[in-house]
């Protein structure tokens, strides 16, 4: 029986780290933690996580703002014997300013679009050949209700929200274009990561309401049951509820 191979971008902190931890605990899994600096302490600490029987960790460099990185990572994975991928979770992203549209600086919009949108496209294009060799491959984009149109949150978020709306569209389109790959968007909730808590404080809250553990556990449970027919091209909350776009 071949191992299940899972690649998670932004895998050294926040939600990415939480997902790496959960998948590593399982038996017969190869977990690939992609992040921009494998030499960083947060990356090296991943090797201390409990590991299930027959499971192992691979760390590769993927900076979501560098176009060539995912393609170089795919080559590096091939050298390490990775000949397919079962699950890719495009988790890496940024959120650092929350302006109104009337106050939005194009430089800040660009600063979100590059890692949150372009970075996802580059990762998908680089990992697509490996996903296509999987049995029932899954592409999951880490989305956000900040990018919702139908139920747009009543807060100023013109840089991050715009980037998430764009990547939601792309993810839904991937599912339509791919015969085999189940592509959909995960909404992790407003999570107590550095990113989530910084935003919560900005909007007057002590911290974000959802723990990393609850969010990641819910998302992994959801991913376990994914089929292209039922989940593809849709937006799913970490609780398992389908959300409107």
Rg of the chain on CA atoms, in Å: 17
Q: Choose the catalytic residue: 164, 172, 228, 238.
A: 164
Q: Which H or E element spans position 241?
A: none
Encode 69-99: b = buried (16+ Cβ within 10 Å), e = exposed: bbbebbeebeeeebeebbbbbbbbbbbebbe
Assess contact for 87 and 140: CB atoms under 8 A. Answer: yes
Straight-line distance from the first to the last Cα atom of the chain, in angstroms, rounded to the nearest whole number:
38
* 160-177 helix and 106-113 helix, angle to the nearest 10 degrees: 40
Paired tokens of 125? 């294009």
Q: Choose the catalytic residue: 160, 172, 228, 231.
A: 160
Residue 124 annotated among the catalytic residues of the structure: no
Q: For 48, which DSSP code?
A: G
Name which of 98, 80, 142, 151 is nearest 117 in CA terms. Answer: 142
- A 10 A CB-CB count for 108 gives 17
* Measured distance CA(125)–CA(119) in Å, rounded: 10
Residue 202 annotated among the catalytic residues of the structure: no
* Measured distance CA(6)–CA(20) in Å, rounded: 9
- List residues with catalytic annotation: 160, 164
């Amino acid at each position: 029986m071949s191992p299940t191979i899972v690649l998670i971008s932004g895998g050294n902190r926040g939600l990415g780290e939480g997902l790496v931890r959960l998948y590593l605990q399982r038996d017969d899994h190869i977990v690939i933690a992609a992040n921009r600096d494998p030499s960083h302490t947060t990356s090296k600490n991943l090797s201390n996580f409990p590991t299930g029987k027959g499971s192992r960790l691979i760390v590769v460099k993927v900076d979501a703002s560098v176009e060539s990185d995912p393609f170089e990572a795919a080559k590096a994975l091939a050298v390490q014997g990775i000949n397919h991928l079962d699950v890719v979770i495009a988790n890496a992203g940024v959120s650092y300013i929350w302006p109104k549209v009337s106050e939005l600086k194009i430089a800040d919009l660009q600063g979100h679009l590059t890692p949150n949108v372009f970075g996802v496209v580059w990762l998908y294009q680089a990992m697509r050949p490996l996903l296509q060799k999987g049995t029932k491959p899954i592409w999951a984009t880490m989305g956000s209700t900040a990018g919702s149109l139908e139920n747009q949150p009543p807060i100023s978020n013109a840089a991050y929200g715009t980037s998430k709306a764009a990547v939601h569209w792309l993810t839904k389109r991937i599912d339509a274009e791919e015969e085999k790959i189940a592509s959909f968007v995960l909404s992790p909730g407003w999570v107590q990561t550095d990113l989530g808590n910084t935003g919560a404080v900005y909007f007057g809250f002590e911290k974000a309401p959802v723990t990393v553990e609850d969010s990641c556990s819910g998302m992994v449970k959801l991913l376990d049951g994914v089929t292209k027919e039922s989940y593809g091209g849709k937006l799913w909350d970490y609780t398992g509820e389908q959300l409107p776009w």
